[in-house]
Amino acid sequence: MDRRFEALRAHFPKSDGDDLPATAAGELARDEPVIWHGAPDRWGLFRATPFMVAVALAVGLSVYMSSGTGLTPTEYLWQLAGSTPIDPRLMVAGSALLFFGLLIASLRDPRDRWIYVATDRRLMTFYSGRRLRELTPDRLRRLRVLRSIEGRLHNVGDVVWANNGSSEDSRSRGPDQGRHGFRGMRDPEAWLERLQQWGRAVEQIASDDAREFSRGQRQADSESPPAARAVRLSNPRFGFSIALPSRWAGRIGQDEKKPLTVLGLKLPIPSLDRVSNRPLHDPPADWNFIEVQGRSGMKFTLTVANEPPAATYEAVRARAGDSLVDAEGEVQLGPLRGFRVDYRHRDKVRIRRAILEGDGFHVQIIAALPNHQASDLLPAIDAVFGSIRAR
């Protein structure tokens, strides 16, 4: 493991077991070390809360309804059951079975089905051997702690980055009931701080590696340091490849342009259908988009369209207006030829837009860099552009 992460590992508790289960290990990139892996500390109590509240309300209601009748709540409920065409003994037995069945189900302990993983680039949750959720550092600002009354008493809670628990469709919420994150964690506030420290360290390492990546691309004949390894993504369909810093986290896949369908009717309006969407370290055989977003606010997108470009250098440069920073009307990057325009957006972001044409297709690359980090990130972006090669 990179020595920079050895210190970070000290902030995490000891992992549950020495080796990550094979079902989770299969989701990792070849050079993706695990910082920590574990499971919920406590879970069942929280699932039982709504059920126990319902039981308390039912008992309270029976006491209220039996008051003034001269009967105990049990006698009143027995008399009420006798007024139905069903044998009261069967009704009582069925109610008891239902009560204890729901109680056992609500108190079941699913912790052995869950695995939580922190690597050098993302957080993941696994359920019954399959990856359920994933978080990259750019979305860490969404992290928050959720706790129930029992959770406050036991200092246990959920550290989540999304909460869709109010959804009416339980199937869309999944086995984590819509709470995407590390659920049932002991001392959740400490875990929140721990994960925020993890994110800051990942951001710094990614920034350091981006600088090393740019130096490595300029010195193509020299051996780059291990921390600066690049990921080269080849596109056999369009005949080019591009290299990205290995710790950039993002998605790669294929979009297809299809007619918009409304109520079964196909309208003459094009819409994009995302056919595949994979992590950068596991690209599909055929892809036409790359999306990267850094925690610092950096965004990098590459799209390939199977048609000549519609935008021209003159039009894009004119649209930049007074915000224009730099422009090149003729650039040759590997087998692709086109132009690039750099401009500022609302004095907050520096944007580089490049449109490159190949044989019957074009590539559009847009890199958005926050002004306060543009000088640090621009060399890496230059190196990414310069890495384009014929496949």
Q: Which residue has the higher pLDDT, 9 or 173?
A: 9
- Indicate the range of 57-61, 162-166, 235-239, 343-347 predicted with least confidence: 162-166
- Give the torsion through C-alpha atoms of 219, 223, 225, 229, to 10 deg: 80
Digit-coded pLDDT (tens) for 190-211 = 999 999 988 888 877 777 877 7
- Stronger pLDDT, 281 or 225, i.e. the higher one: 281
Residues in the chain: 391
Has residue 168 got a pLDDT over 60? no
Higher-pLDDT residue of 246 and 225 is 246
Span 238-256, average pLDDT: 89
Residue 247 · residue 232 · CB < 8 Å: no
For residue 20, the number of C-alpha atoms closer than 13 Å in the C-beta half-sphere is 21
Q: What is the pLDDT of residues 292-305, one digit of tens each?
A: 987 567 899 999 99
Q: Which two tokens stand for residue 15?
A: 């992992």
Given a cut of 90, is residue 185 above it in pLDDT? yes
How open is the CA angle 37-42-48, to the nearest 5 degrees?
Answer: 140
Inter-CA distances, 229 with 135, 215, 280, Å: 22, 11, 14
110-121 pLDDT, tens digit per residue, is 677 899 999 888
Residue 238 has pLDDT above 90, yes or no: yes
User: Predicted confidence band at 224 (pLDDT cuts at 50, 70, 90)?
Assistant: very low
pLDDT category of residue 10 using cuts at 50, 70 and 90 = confident
Kindly report the CA angle at 60 between 54 and 65, in degrees rounded to 5? Answer: 125
Write the pLDDT tens digit of every residue in 35-87.
999 999 876 544 556 666 777 777 777 777 777 777 777 777 667 666 767 67
Q: Residue 186's pLDDT is what?
A: 92
* Nearest partner of 286 among 360, 358, 234, 232, judged by Cα: 234
Q: 229-390 architecture in CATH?
A: 3-Layer(aba) Sandwich (3.40)
Residue 285 scores a pLDDT above 70: yes
Confidence of residue 280 (pLDDT cuts 50, 70, 90): confident
Q: Does 281 have pLDDT greater than 90?
A: no
Structure confidence at residue 50 (pLDDT): 62
pLDDT tens by residue, 331-378: 999 999 999 999 999 888 999 999 999 999 999 999 999 888 788 788
The mean per-residue pLDDT over the stretch 255-284 comes to 81
State yes or no: pLDDT of 233 exceeds 60: yes
